[in-house]
Structure 1
């Protein structure tokens, strides 16, 4: 079993995926959100899970808390350093001035340097950093080049995977289109290969095979749909307040449902569902699957008016036969972008967690908004599991 630590861990979707391989154990996590850390502590019994700003916890102190356990892998998703309002010229200055590491005027945005500081201290065999796809393209690629330059300068014993890729979770059996940049660095002598895709969404805009520009889709499994993901979950209503409820059925489960329920009994937790106001529910009743706000007739939109030049898709009803669009942390605000395919309500916390591919034994701690946000901020565990399998394979290659 290989040990890893989880930086900017949130509830632990990335870590859960690594543990689902059966090859890795999470021994430590850190995040500055109290409810997320309570969730992390509950679900990772072997982890020292710390609620603090990583800037307040130098790796030397973290190592003391780990009682000197060896760290084989470091994973995490630090905020991108240059997605604030700074200009391109400021970024360019980063690698012109080798003494200057602050590549943004906002110190909260250089947290990736703290991530690399942990890598520098623990010297893991491999580290995995995830972020939004724009990490590679922001400011014509200057963001990525700045990060790459710092890694090459300060961590010379590590190589970065030759071509950093953006993965789509739908291609790894997750019922959701969610694209994430995955940057992998490993000690020289190892060789990393991105995980082979297993699923294909025929109508998908963002189907991506990181290893093949022209995959033979006939050999791939069909995508997992919203209906595949949630149709066996408990029958609930708008404003549902009971967390643990029995499943709606126990027979004729599909492979995804069986995987999600592998370690649960007849019931599941986190079925809390927010209450939508009367006007919203009336508008929901006029929406077909796939409809967005601007598909509605003007008189219907006036029931729940928004600025139509900005909020064209302020409301969106999911489609049973398709994967979901990306579940974002904004689901914690009102959920209008995630209207149930067939019911006039938004998704429950557990339904959103299923769409993120969290197994049903993974319990979220916190109030309603906290738990929704934890789900929306997470890396889908099934995609993380595939990444973990590739990491394990990399670490079993023979070093030069």
Structure 2
């Protein structure tokens, strides 16, 4: 089953799809370091190393690839423009415009199925940010969610029914809490079926327990770091992190040190749980980021006073142990932090494989009509794993969000081990 990989990056999504029997016939990626990573690990795959804007069905012809052989177009358009952690520039950012370049490629190639991955910020993004909108613009384009609504409407117009899922990789066995939006479209009016969570940290779910950071890189995991490069914290940051217990964050500091170390950020609203954060072996990793040495998105090793390494970050994303990342340390972290977790690629690949089998069973006479519009299907996307602060008391990262004493207060314990 052949597919085109758009915005391939370090191939996290592609690796997952490969495990389900899909074969990438071409990777479209214009970041030079990511291109070198692809070539180093998959030297036989064709790589189009220019912008996706310059990629077209004619490119396939030039490379001797028949578009009729392509069953799937898959990729995650650059998501920073939609991220709730970014400036949310949407289509005013050239990266935001890449979602519609993805649409254009699907329109030209006409695969049976497409898979688009993005961050949850895509759900609420307006087509045009109100701040920069001309006065005469239609108010519909300024509403939250109008970008996704327009995008799916445009997919409907070119013959694709679209299912929109909001999922979390930790629910499927990844050792990382990472919430993502997946759009799965097909030309046959069928409905894809994304599976229910397979792991949990809630007793009532009666599922195996979440995989933890300790399972992957902990002292008893047998982990040998294949790439111990570190994008480390500054001496000032290390000073404050040295005061944080394993699994703790800024809440573990005395109030005067909190204010001193955080400055104006101390007065902001919200949990700021990633500020001066040390990871915990007893819980899944938080979302791997592109810059783990920032105070506000800190990914400090649980027991060593440093940021996590390239090898550790790649292991959390479940890249193969021998996967070689090219570029500077900063460029390698960018590739890993922007990647789709390999595990999520596997689960999506299973869904698409089942959808292809359903398509094969259809006769020309019983192909359903295109399903217009869409429903956002949330499959436990927002996952809580631990508590840092409750009822005026700070907790280190050994306190499970769901572990309560008989009087309803949080008590100190590790992530609950659930019966299988």
In the TM superposition, residue 80 of structure 1 has moved relative to its aligned partner by: 6.0
TM-score, normalised via structure 2 length: 0.73
Contact map agreement 1:330 1:373 (CA 8 A) in 2: yes
Is 1:229 aligned to residue 216 of structure 2? yes
Give the CA deviation at 1:198. Answer: 1.6
Using the alignment, how far apart are the partners of 2:307 and 2:25 within structure 1? 36
Distance 1:149 1:189, change over 3 A: closer
Which residue of 2 is the match for residue 194 of structure 1?
194
Residues 98-113 of structure 1 aligned to structure 2 (within 5 Å): 104-113=91-100
The one-character-per-residue Cα deviations of 1:335-377 (angstroms, maximum 9, x if unpaired) are: 9610111111110011111111212122211110011111100
Q: State whether residues 231 and 292 of structure 2, in contact with CA within 8 Å, keep that contact through their aligned partners in structure 1.
A: no
User: What are the residue-to-residue correspondences of 1:1-400 with 2, within 5 Å?
Assistant: 2-21=1-20, 23-68=21-66, 70-79=69-78, 83=82, 104-138=91-125, 139-153=143-157, 155-156=158-159, 158-161=160-163, 164-188=164-188, 190-202=190-202, 217-218=205-206, 220-231=207-218, 269-298=226-255, 300-301=257-258, 304=261, 306-307=263-264, 308-310=266-268, 313-331=274-292, 337-397=298-358, 398-399=361-362, 400=366
Contact 1:332 1:372 in 2 (8 A): no
Give SS of 1:49's match.
strand
Equivalent residue of 2:144, what SS?
A: helix
TM-aligned CA deviation for residue 24 of structure 1 = 0.9
**Contact 1:26/1:44, CA 8 A, preserved across alignment:** no
Bigger mean CA deviation after superposition, 168-177 or 38-47: 38-47
Aligned position for 1:264: none
Pairwise CA distance, 1:51: 2.0
Give the unaligned 5+ runs of structure 1. 88-102, 204-215, 233-248, 258-266
Please, which runs of 5 or more residues in structure 2 have no aligned partner? 126-142, 367-420
> Shift of residue 57 of structure 1?
2.5
Is the Cα–Cα contact under 8 Å of residues 80 and 110 in structure 1 kept in the other structure?
A: no
Deviation at 1:141, TM superposition (A): 2.4
* Residues 67 and 338 (structure 1), Cα distance of their counterparts in 2 relative to 1, 3 Å cut: same
Q: Is the 8 A contact 1:340 1:346 kept in 2?
A: yes
CA positional deviation for 1:273: 1.8
| Matched residue SS, 1:36 | helix
> CA separation in 1, counterparts of 2:81 and 2:258?
37
Structure-2 change in CA distance of 1:202 and 1:362 (3 Å): farther
Q: Look up the SS of the partner of 1:342 in the other structure.
A: coil
Kindly tell me the number of residue pairs found equivalent between the two proteins.
336
Contact 1:119 1:127 in 2 (8 A): yes
Q: How far, CA to CA, are the matches of 1:86 and 1:177 in structure 2? A: 22
Offset at residue 150 of structure 1 (A): 1.1
How much has 1:62 moved relative to structure 2? 3.9
1:113 and 1:279 mapped to 2: Cα distance? 43
| Contact kept in structure 2, 1:48 and 1:66, CA below 8 Å | no
The 1-side partners of 2:40 and 2:238 are apart by 35
RMSD: 2.8
TM-aligned CA deviation for residue 302 of structure 1: 7.2
Q: For 1:43 and 1:332, locate their aligned partners in 2 and report how far apart those are by CA, in whole Å.
A: 27
Q: Do the aligned partners of residues 82 and 347 (structure 1) sit closer, same or farther apart at CA in structure 2, a change above 3 Å counting?
A: closer
Change (3 A) 1:391 1:146: same
TM-score when normalising by structure 1: 0.76
- Partners of 1:292 and 1:388 in 2: CA distance: 36
